[in-house]
Amino acid sequence: MKSVQAFAPATVANVSCGFDILGFAIEGMGDRVTLREKETPGLVVSSIQGDGGKLPKDPIKNTCSVAIQALLDELGQNVGMEICLEKGLPLGSGMGSSAASAVAALVAANHLLGNPFEKKDLLPFAMAAEKAACGAGHADNVGPSLLGGFVLIRDYHPLDVIKLHVPKDLYCTLLHPHFELNTADSRSVLRDSIPLKHATIQSGNVAGLVAGLYEEDFDLISRSLRDVIAEPYRAVLIPGFYEVREAIKGAGALGMGISGSGPTLFCLSKGKEKAAKIAEAAKEVYQSIGLGVDVYFSAINTAGGYVLEG
């Protein structure tokens, strides 16, 4: 029987001024899914590693099987598959953990079936899995995890996903404090309506960020990395936010923001050296406030999910 292993990267959604419309993928960190064809139809989640026993194996609830089932339903096929998930990402951290699992599962399944879909066309299936996992079929994690790079979700009706240009030297440092933040809490602090003035500021910054990516203008990227919509309300829920922001500026970061709905923070920088310095500077701050943290830095992943073996 055939077997395929695929990988999909961690992602940062929102990206400050890109609230609810932008996300990008991180090189190196991510989830692996191994699929084995089986003779009897139906999906079975046979093993999950690295989740501390927290994720469901029930195929109706598991992100991987929900995603693959959506794909099989579209094809009208009922192929039997055994799913092994290796979590490389912490759960509920704001690094697109469920998205990476769903994308890795879909990339593997599509390969196993002889690639009936273009990569981009796997997105709705991944969104169906996000809906099952998080209650909303957002694309700002699954989009970049699937396609790589910086991804703009221009619209959902119909879905319009655009891969933006990314300067080669752009690096990301991720700071994952050992602290749980409930996504619902993080969402509930947002206002349903906002001042028109704030909407205009946010628009100006997101336009500046996109232009900065295309122009490879790191100063412009830096000036544009501001969020007046979500960050002012969410930052107060994240211990050390303002102290870390001060410290990473001194280490040469272009800017910092909340990854997804937190508590992980992301910093962008020009070049690997600065990304490493930022990681060190942030670690010191977390140490000083007595909070454990995992730090990680890498280039922007531009490939998205891909097949490792099979």
Residues annotated in a binding site: 90-100
Residue of the chain from 53, 154, 188, 290 that contacts a copy of itself (CB under 8 A): 154
| C-alpha to C-alpha distance for 12 and 262, rounded to whole angstroms | 10
Among 29, 206, 248, 265, contact with a copy of itself (rule: CB under 8 A): 206
Instruction: Please state the closest distance from residue 144 (CB atom) to a copy of itself, in A.
Output: 14
Region of 51-59, 216-224, 236-244, 263-271 interacting with a copy of itself (CB under 8 A): 216-224
Helix (H, G, I), strand (E, B) or coil at 117: coil
Which part of the chain contacts a copy of itself (CB under 8 A), choosing from 41-49, 188-196, 231-239, 242-250? Answer: 188-196
Tokens representing 94 are: 């704001």
Six token digits for residue 241: 């936010």
Altogether, the residues listed in the chain come to a count of 310
Size of the site for a copy of itself (CB under 8 A): 40
Closer residue to a copy of itself in complex, CB, 90/149: 149
Q: How far is the CB of 148 from a copy of itself (least distance, A)?
A: 16
Q: Which residue has the tokens 């080669």?
A: 168
Q: How far is the CB of 211 from a copy of itself (least distance, A)?
A: 5
CA-to-CA separations, 84 to 4, 57, 106, in angstroms, rounded = 10, 10, 13
The annotated binding site for ATP is made up of 90-100
DSSP state, residue 20: T
Contact 254, 218 (CB under 8 A): yes
Backbone angles phi, psi at 86, to 5 degrees: -110, 110
Question: CB of residue 216 vs a copy of itself: minimum separation in angstroms?
Answer: 11
Among 1, 207, 236, 303, indicate the residue that binds a copy of itself (CB under 8 A).
Answer: 207
Q: Is there binding between residue 258 and a copy of itself (CB under 8 A)?
A: no
Residues 219-248 that bind a copy of itself (CB under 8 A): 220, 223-224, 229
Q: Which backbone phi and psi does 275 adopt, to 5 degrees?
A: -60, -40
3-class secondary structure, 229: coil
d(CA 274, CA 10): 21
Q: Interface residues with a copy of itself (CB under 8 A)? A: 17-22, 152-155, 160, 162, 164-165, 190-196, 198-211, 214, 220, 223-224, 229
